[in-house]
Structure 1
Amino acid sequence: MLIETERPGCVLRPWHERDQPGLVAIANNVKIWRNLTDLFPHPYTEADADAWIALAREADRSVHLAIEVEDQVAGGIGALAGSGVSIATADFGYWLGEPYWGRGLATAAARALAGVLMAQRRFARLQAPVFAGNAASMRVLEKAGFVREGVLRQSVTKDGALMDSVMYARTAT
């Protein structure tokens, strides 16, 4: 799957083994780690990158893509498919390396992937929980057509601190 975004030079594409050095270089950043679940490790090692790339390439219903900007890995984006009674739902998420912040790239990537997934009717609901202090990510989701559904009080723990998260969602109807 290759998805063009509204930003010239920014595409969403499958992860490749050759992405490992670039992935480690941009992902090994505590500022990124602070706003992601603990499934995203810090420090971010070559072994972490290898494991992630292998997992992303094996995904069946889930979608895990690299955000590429001007032929460089800039981050990642995806939708983790639900199961059981949540089979029509996917957890939507993304991250960008710090050199790419503030350029509208996360918004372009989120709009592009959410648009494709909704057009394909792959999921009826994309949901994206955001740490309550991450205003930039909330704005990205709003610009990508997601709606704020509410605050999940004391729902996440990060770096030993209990905090709220805010649920955003985009639905097919």
Structure 2
Amino acid sequence: MRSTSEISLRKLRHGDAETLSLLANNKKIWDCVRDLFPHPYTLEDAQSFIRRTEEEDPAHTFAIVNPEDQLCGVISLMPNEGIYRIGSELGYWIGEAYWGRGIASQAVALITKYGFEQLQLHRIYAGVFDFNQASMRVLEKNGYLKEGIKRKAVIKNGQIHDEHHYAIVI
């Protein structure tokens, strides 16, 4: 798939399962994603997730890897259906050991280009919890504009939060 000098996106492989489970089994990551993301995140969760991504046609979920092909995180464009099929929701996470290196920004740039050029999307959007300023900066660096804030729209860890909505369109 696409790459920069520092990272690339590729399909997940069965051999990624152990690293995936180790990286994803982190409450700091779980705190910033939807509850359907398991916590704790087991090897079985990783294997099941990888099997599901193999069924994607076209592919929309990718491993984020460094130049040594080490898994750093996962990024996905979740397809919409019906009248919304020209858009996809962006989701991503980076393993804590890789935070602060610009990896998320590079991965968002790559998948955005893929979404527009290969998937023929017209709109890519993301929702971000109000406390996740780092993710807001990643999206803004990639040209995503804040479209609004859904006040008191989500609950995470028993706390009600606003959700900031970002999008990029062509």
1:150 match: 148
Q: Give 3-state SS (helix, strand or coil) of 2:20's partner.
A: helix
The two structures have a TM-score, normalised by structure 1, of: 0.93
Task: From 35, 38, 51, give the equivalent of 2:35.
Answer: 38
Deviations 1:120-152 (A, max 9, x none): 352111010000110000000011111111101
Deviations 1:51-94 (A, max 9, x none): 11011111235600000112211100010000112111100011
Where does 1:5-154 land on structure 2 (aligned, <5 Å)? 5=4, 8-61=5-58, 63-69=60-66, 70-120=68-118, 122-154=120-152
Instruction: Say if 1:62 and 1:80, in contact at 8 Å, map to a contact too.
Output: no
2:3 match: 4
Once residues 30 and 62 of structure 2 are traced to their aligned partners in structure 1, the CA distance between those partners, rounded to angstroms, is 18
Q: Give 3-state SS (helix, strand or coil) of 1:165's partner.
A: strand
Instruction: Say if 1:111 and 1:145, in contact at 8 Å, map to a contact too.
Output: no
* Distance 1:121-1:62 versus aligned 2 partners, 3 A rule: closer
Once residues 148 and 64 of structure 1 are traced to their aligned partners in structure 2, the CA distance between those partners, rounded to angstroms, is 24
Once residues 99 and 8 of structure 2 are traced to their aligned partners in structure 1, the CA distance between those partners, rounded to angstroms, is 16
The two structures have a TM-score, normalised by structure 2, of: 0.95
**What is the percentage of aligned positions where both structures have the same residue?**
40
Once residues 55 and 118 of structure 2 are traced to their aligned partners in structure 1, the CA distance between those partners, rounded to angstroms, is 20
Instruction: Say if 1:64 and 1:79, in contact at 8 Å, map to a contact too.
Output: yes
- Deviation beyond 4 Å, 4+ runs, structure 1: none
Once residues 163 and 15 of structure 2 are traced to their aligned partners in structure 1, the CA distance between those partners, rounded to angstroms, is 35
